Amino acid sequence: MMIKMENRGIIADLHLHSKYSRATSKNLDLENLEKYARIKGIDLLGTGDFTHPIWFKELKSSLKEDGSGILTTKTGFKFVLTVEVSNIYTQGGKGRRVHSIILAPSLDIASQINEALGKKGRLDYDGRPIFGFSCAELVEMMKSVSSEIEIIPAHAWTPWFSIFGSMSGFNSIKECFLDQSKHIHAIETGLSSNPEMNWKISSLDNVNLVSFSDAHSFWPWRLGREATIFRKGRSYRDIISSIRTGEGINATIEVDPNYGKYHLDGHRACGICMEPKESTKHKNICPKCSGPMTIGVLNRVEELADREKSRPANAKPFFSLIPLSDIIAAIIGSPVASKKTWSVYNTLIGNFKSEFNVLLDADEKELLKYVDRKIADAILLNRHGQVKIKPGYDGVYGEPVFDNSVQKPTKAQKSLSNF
């Protein structure tokens, strides 16, 4: 049975960026983050990029502290101090490139983090700074600053920059973080994997799974596309306790992993996309240009999997949702940022208050007051994880695909809700 949004808890997106990170929107500031978080239905955001000196100065001048570890804007919207860092180094005779999310309990602790990291490299050139030391050293350094700092491996399966990535990753948390692995309580699933895929690796049974967007813009098809629902979020300690124990995590919001940019193997330049078995037949070589293919998340999960389907005792429910803008755009045949798509989107938001209300709560009769049957049925199919996705690969996003006639979800399909 579905649980109404007001009873689910705190929807949080704690991994995102500011305008001071590379390849991000130039208008990605606190004002737009708050505006579109409210439209999306998000209750709590990460600040992102607090190591960048200009952004940190803006955070200090714009956000108010009350001792809880939750910072607020003048209008009361809530933020937690976060940053993503990149560690690029050699370990075990192999080049490693791993991204991690760092959460801090106060501006003072964030300042101490900046001071410590500033001794190891530059912080002013990118909101996601790069360092040449190991992940184990990163955790040790953070814990020497404060035991309340939390480190989470980001988008854990992404090929190029992650703990388990096919191009430079490790085969276990222990292998990556060594004696500091005791401080790693959770990993971020990333767009190209979901909890069910992670459940195939028994060594992750006692590791909590969280989901965040890694948004590089504030638009609602990016912000909150993945999120974690916490039971309570009155303080930083509430959030950290939930991440460390898993007990305060109600559920995660995921996209279908096919939607992610690296789900399958392939070579974007040649338009080649393959399932793992097919890639093996081609020895991971592009059949068009004879160059190496990018090995995707599904392939890597299958490589490390030590069992088939298994749901750990502490596994949390999850929603599988495609952003509303993508659904509308696919149905009406217009780009996601077009006036036509925005018109339908804004009509729904104007009547249901937020995107998550539309995606998870709006009933069929109410939807049909504002949109036509095809869009309403597509929203219902999306709610129950029944939207077909053309898989993403090698940096290409997956795309929702609808037949000429969109069918309503059956009773059997409705029972597949993960909440």
Please say whether the dihedral angle defined by the alpha carbons of residues 10, 13, 18 and 19, taken in this order, is positive or negative: negative
What pLDDT does residue 3 have? 43
What pLDDT does residue 309 have? 82
Tell me which residue of 373, 379, 334 sits closest to 359, measured CA to CA: 379
Domains and CATH numbers, the chain: 5-258 (3.20.20.140)
User: Could you tell me if 53 and 124 are in contact, meaning their C-beta atoms sit under 8 angstroms apart?
Assistant: yes
- Count the Cβ atoms, other than its own, within 10 Å of residue 22: 10
For residue 351, the surrounding DSSP H or E stretch is helix 339-352
- Count the Cβ atoms, other than its own, within 10 Å of residue 247: 10
User: Could you tell me if 384 and 416 are in contact, meaning their C-beta atoms sit under 8 angstroms apart?
Assistant: yes
| Letter string b/e over residues 44-54, b meaning 16 or more CB atoms within 10 A of that residue's CB | bbbbbbbbbee
Residue 249 to residue 365: CA distance in whole angstroms: 32
What pLDDT does residue 408 have? 62
Tell me which residue of 70, 182, 55 sits closest to 129, measured CA to CA: 55
Which residue matches tokens 């959770």?
A: 186
Per run of 10 residues, the mean pLDDT along the chain (length 419 residues) is 60 98 97 98 98 98 98 98 98 97 98 98 97 98 98 98 97 98 98 98 97 98 98 96 97 98 98 97 97 98 94 95 98 97 98 98 97 97 96 97 66 40
Residue type, 178: L
